Structures are given as structure tokens and as C-alpha cells.
């Protein structure tokens, strides 16, 4: 398992064609009958949707900032279980990592953690001989990063390709392919990047097919596969991550721990007249039986956790659902654009990220569901909302009524808020106890006013100290995207609250 063939698709900068090449390679290998494991470096939610289309398997993220370097290889092995080959799409430029953190979370960092060879995708437009200097620089910058080949993108003509190949003969890095400009491979973008697969399913399928066709026509797939098979063993001791949770013990509501059941006065006197040994043994048996049955009933209860999906809420890490299921929940997906009711028996609600601002009219028009969400939150049931979920719980979004769970308003903004965050839980909530440290990611063009409630969700430690988000009753709502694999106790705590609330 630790020697699964693998490679990382990287580039000198964003916009070079990583997604086209990585997705095309995934689809091309899948068409050869290989089981392909798709991965994405960094926190991005959108590219993994295209990877899933290409491979028929869940796209998964590998983020050394959100989850820590120690989890990169285990999460990779978890996703690659049973696969013949793995393709990892990088993020930004090869050596670009978390700001101020050196190589942390860069594509190069992940490639080293996986001991995976790198295929460098180079935008060759407007250059010829200079491509050799560029490739030489990237290949020699860090001797621990093995650049095993180059794929030239946006090549203008046969003559242009010939000049590029001649230049690279002296760089010592083999050319694994050359792709021409093909307009149909372009995928539409908007304010937060590519349009998600869920919003353009048929067009996305066509785009993935076009990427695959271009890669098949322009790349030496045998050479690329051979490079992946030369990856060798992962670092010693690497084992697949598992969402399995140790058994949890239900916690009684605060204030109930030392209370005893009320008894009739007469019974108290009768008991005191009986022999102490007999009375104690019987009481112990009764208490033990009651405690075991009560604890078992709570443990065995399978709470329904409703998870928002559909076109408006497409941002979610696969491990979150796996962790909730492992903690004992039945996870049921619903679509706030179409469903007028929450799933039957909903005991908890998770609303992840997405584009509610694009669908504000439709979300607002679904008044029955908005009222159902508000009623669930008012009942004290656990509700976890990230970014898009935060907007949906506000009183209004761009002037349109939302769920009204939070006394706050949300609106679109021209300013992009983007970056990693180091946060700590300000107080106890359905997700964490006060003082729990989490690393997260913000990515939005909206503003919520006020930005924090009377009980904030998080205190941001970096890059700027501030408080953010809302905790009230069972609600935890914030802009911060987190990866629960880094702190499995989050899912366990949430499901336990679903059982006991």
C-alpha cells in the first residue's frame, strides 16, 4: 500500500494549466482501466469535483497547514486504498506555501512528504529558449524535490514545439508531452474560481472529456505512468488514516450529576428498616442495571445529521462525512434549493461552504425550509455552519430573507478575503471546548455585519488578532473552513450532542 504509484502535477505559477493536465491525466489513466486516486494540494473545494468526474472516485485534499504534515501521507493512503495509481494536483506555483511559513503546505512540501516525483506543467506561450532556464531553475532549487518530467502547455505550432524541445535537451529534464491551445478545454470561472461541477454537470463532463482527449493526444502516457511507478516507498511507518473513533461515553446534562431520583417519604423509612447489606446490594444491582441500560440506549441511538448539498452548498471535505458516520451518526444529504423539509428525524445540521450569494433568490423563496432550519436551531439542536452556511443562517443576504437564526446581515463585497488562519475556540460549543486550537482557511467575497456575536466562535491568532463568528445555543457559525481530520474530537463531540440534545 505504501508503494502506490503516484506523481504530483505542479507548475511555476497559477494559470499554467495544472488542472487541465492533472484532470486529463486522471481521466486518461481511468480510460486505460486503472483505478485512479485523485488528490488536490491545499484547501480548494472546486478542483476535486472535476477530479471525481474524471476518476469516478472522491476527490480528496492534502493540506499540510490545515491537517499538519504528519497527516498528509496517512490521508493520501486512505484515499488511495485499492487504487492502481494516484495523481496529485498541486496548488499555485511549485514552491508557494502558507504566507510566512516557508515551504509549509506548498506543492513541493507535499511532494517531499509523499516522496512523489513531480511533473512540471509549463505555459510555453511567448517563449522558446528561455523555457530551459525556467525548468532548470525549478528542477535545481530544492534537491529533495524530484522534477521527473515536463509537460509543455499552450504550444502554438509544430515549429514552436520543436524549438522548446531543443532548448530542453540541455536541461536534463525529459519532455513528457506538449499540449496545444484548445478553447473547448477552458472552463468558466467567476468570483471564487472555477464554476463547481454541481452547477454545470453536463458541461463539466464534456470539459473533462476534452481534457482527457488533449492529454492522450499530446502526452506520452506510458512515460508518465513509468515515472509514477518509480515513486518507491512512502516514509517508514506510514499507515492509512481512518475515521474510526474510539467509543464515546455519553455525558449527562450539567447540574444532573449529583441529583438523585425523588422518592416517596414512606419508602425512605421502609428502606432504612431493612438490613444494610441487603439494601446496599439491591440498590447497587438496580443502579447498575439502570445505568447500563441508560448508557447503552444513548450510545446505540443513531442520530440523523442533515448535511446541506446541492448547487448552493458544494464545499465539503469527504472526511467530515466519514468522521460523522464513524462517530455513530446517519448522514443524510439534502438540497436547500429543492427540499422544503429537513430529513426526517434530523437531530443535527451541518451547512458547509458554497455559493449562497449566487442562489440567494432561490434560497430565500424556499420559506418552508428556512423556517424548519430556524426551528431546529431554536430547539437547541447542534448546528455547524461554515462560510456559506453562516450566510444562510443570517437574517438576510443581499437584502433577501434567510433563516434568521443569527441577528446579522450578509452582503456581497468586491474585496476578496483569502488565506490560512490560526484560530482558538473562544468558548465551549458543539464543536469544541474553549481553548481548542484549530487551523483553518477563509475564502469569500462577502461581509457579515456584525462579524462576531456576543459569544464569538473563534479568536484568530494569525495573521491578525480578532474574534469572529457566532456561538449561541447549539449553533456554531463562522467564516472559517476547517478540516476535521486534524481534530477528530470535533465530529465525536457534535454527534454526542446530537444524541443528548
- Tell me which residue has cell 446541492: 310
Distance CA 176, CA 235 (A): 27
Q: Please say whether the beta carbons of 314 and 234 come within 8 A.
A: no
Active site residues per annotation: 387
Residue among 131, 184, 130, 129 nearest 153 (CA): 131
| Residue 445 CA from chain centroid, whole number | 19
Q: Please say whether the beta carbons of 241 and 75 come within 8 A.
A: yes
Q: Please say whether the beta carbons of 61 and 42 come within 8 A.
A: yes
Query: In terms of DSSP H, where are the helices of 310-410?
Result: 318-326, 360-365, 367-378, 388-393
Instruction: Count Cβ atoms below 10 Å from residue 358 Cβ, excluding itself.
Output: 18
Residue among 409, 393, 407, 377 nearest 477 (CA): 393
Q: Angle 285-290-293 (CA atoms, 0-180°, nearest 5)?
A: 120
C-alpha grid cell, residue 207: 470539459
Q: Pairing mode, if any, of strands 189-190 and 193-194?
A: antiparallel
Distance CA 414, CA 399 (A): 17
Distance CA 501, CA 495 (A): 10
- Tell me which residue has cell 441529583: 259
DSSP 393-436: HSSEETTEE----SS-EEEEEEEEEEEEEEEEESS--SS--TT-
Torsion of CA 130, 133, 135, 138, to 10 degrees: -140
Instruction: Count Cβ atoms below 10 Å from residue 27 Cβ, excluding itself.
Output: 27
Distances (CA, A) of 471 to 268, 406, 495: 44, 10, 17
Distance CA 349, CA 326 (A): 17
Amino acid at each position: 500500500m505504501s508503494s502506490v504509484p503516484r506523481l504530483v502535477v505542479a507548475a511555476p505559477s497559477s494559470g499554467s494549466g495544472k488542472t487541465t493536465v492533472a484532470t486529463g491525466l486522471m481521466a486518461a489513466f481511468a480510460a486505460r482501466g486503472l483505478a485512479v486516486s485523485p488528490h488536490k494540494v491545499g484547501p480548494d473545494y472546486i478542483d476535486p469535483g472535476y477530479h471525481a468526474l474524471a476518476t469516478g472516485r472522491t476527490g480528496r485534499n492534502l493540506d499540510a497547514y490545515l491537517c499538519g504534515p504528519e497527516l498528509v501521507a496517512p490521508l493520501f493512503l486512505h484515499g488511495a486504498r485499492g487504487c492502481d495509481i494516484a495523481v496529485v494536483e498541486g496548488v499555485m506555483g511549485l514552491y508557494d506555501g502558507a504566507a510566512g511559513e516557508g515551504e509549509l503546505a506548498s506543492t513541493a512540501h507535499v511532494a517531499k512528504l509523499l516522496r512523489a516525483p513531480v511533473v512540471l506543467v509549463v505555459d510555453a506561450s511567448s517563449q522558446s529558449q528561455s523555457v530551459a532556464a525556467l525548468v532548470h531553475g525549478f528542477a535545481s532549487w530544492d534537491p529533495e524535490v524530484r522534477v521527473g518530467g515536463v509537460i509543455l502547455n499552450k504550444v502554438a505550432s509544430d515549429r514552436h514545439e520543436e524549438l522548446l524541445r531543443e532548448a530542453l535537451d540541455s536541461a536534463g529534464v525529459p519532455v513528457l508531452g506538449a499540449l496545444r491551445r484548445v478553447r473547448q478545454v477552458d472552463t468558466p470561472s467567476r468570483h471564487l474560481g472555477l464554476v463547481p461541477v454541481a452547477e454545470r454537470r453536463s458541461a463539466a463532463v464534456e470539459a473533462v472529456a476534452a481534457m482527457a482527449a488533449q492529454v492522450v493526444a499530446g502526452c506520452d502516457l506510458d512515460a508518465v505512468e513509468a515515472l509514477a511507478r518509480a515513486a518507491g516507498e512512502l516514509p517508514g511507518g506510514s499507515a492509512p488514516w481512518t475515521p474510526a473513533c474510539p467509543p464515546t461515553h455519553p455525558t449527562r446534562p450539567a447540574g444532573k450529576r449529583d441529583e438523585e431520583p425523588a422518592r416517596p417519604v414512606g419508602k425512605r423509612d421502609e428502606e432504612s428498616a431493612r438490613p444494610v447489606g441487603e439494601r446496599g446490594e439491591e440498590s447497587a444491582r438496580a443502579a447498575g442495571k439502570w445505568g447500563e441500560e441508560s448508557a447503552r440506549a444513548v450510545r446505540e441511538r443513531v442520530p440523523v445529521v442533515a448535511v446541506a448539498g446541492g448547487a448552493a452548498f458544494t464545499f465539503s471535505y469527504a472526511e467530515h462525512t466519514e468522521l460523522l458516520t464513524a462517530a455513530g451518526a446517519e448522514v443524510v444529504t439534502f438540497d436547500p434549493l429543492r427540499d422544503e423539509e429537513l430529513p426526517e428525524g434530523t437531530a443535527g445540521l451541518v451547512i458547509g461552504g458554497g455559493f449562497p450569494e449566487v442562489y440567494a433568490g432561490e434560497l430565500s423563496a424556499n420559506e418552508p425550509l428556512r423556517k424548519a432550519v430556524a426551528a431546529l436551531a431554536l430547539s437547541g439542536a447542534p448546528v455547524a455552519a461554515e462560510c456559506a452556511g453562516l450566510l444562510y443562517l443570517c437574517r438576510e443576504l443581499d437584502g433577501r430573507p434567510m433563516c434568521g437564526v443569527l441577528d446579522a446581515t450578509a452582503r456581497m463585497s468586491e474585496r476578496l478575503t483569502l488565506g490560512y488562519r490560526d484560530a482558538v475556540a473562544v468558548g465551549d460549543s458543539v464543536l469544541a471546548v474553549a481553548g481548542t486550537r484549530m487551523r483553518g482557511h477563509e475564502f469569500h467575497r462577502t461581509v457579515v455585519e456584525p462579524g462576531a456575536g456576543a459569544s464569538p466562535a473563534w479568536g484568530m491568532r494569525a495573521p491578525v488578532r480578532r474574534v469572529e463568528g457566532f456561538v449561541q445555543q447549539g449553533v456554531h457559525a463562522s467564516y472559517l473552513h476547517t478540516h476535521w481530520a486534524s481534530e477528530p474530537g470535533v465530529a465525536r463531540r457534535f454527534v454526542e450532542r446530537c444524541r443528548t440534545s
